Amino acid sequence: MAEEKIDTADSVEGAEKKSAEKKKRTNPTPINIYRRWCKGCSICIVLCPQNVFEADPDGYPVVAHPFDCNQCGICWLHCPDFAITSTEK
C-alpha cells in the first residue's frame, strides 16, 4: 500500500491564512437575523454549509459562528421571510 504524504506546512499555512482573512473582517457578524420577521423554520440552519447558525432554546436561529461565514448567500437567498440580510454584500 502506498502511503499518501501530507505536507503539514502547507496545511498549517493555509489554515493560518484563512484565520487571518477572518480576522480582517471589520464587522464580526456578517449577517443579521431580524427576529420579528423570522418564523423559526430552520431552513438557514439546515442549509448553511459552514454551520454558522444554531437554534436558540425557542428554535430560532442565532449566528453562533460568525467568523465561519463565507458570504455564500445560501441562508438569505432561501429565507422565506426575508429575515436574513448580509452586512458585507
Instruction: Assess if residue 74 is contained within a domain.
Output: yes
Q: Is the pLDDT of residue 83 over 90?
A: yes
- Predicted confidence at residue 88, as pLDDT, reads 77
Hey, which bits of the chain come out as E strands?
31-33, 53-55, 61-63, 84-86
Q: Mind listing the pLDDT tens digit for each residue in 18-32?
A: 555 555 556 577 899
In angstroms, rounded to a whole number, what is the distance separating the alpha carbons of residues 89 and 85?
A: 9
Phi-psi label, residue 73: left if phi above 0, alpha if psi -120 to 50, beta otherwise: left
Beta strands 84-86; 31-33: pairing state = antiparallel
Is the pTM value of this prediction over 0.95?
A: no
State the total domains in the chain: 1
Domain containing residue 66: 27-86
Instruction: Assess if residue 58 is contained within a domain.
Output: yes
Instruction: Assess if residue 12 is contained within a domain.
Output: no
CATH number at residue 54: 3.30.70.20
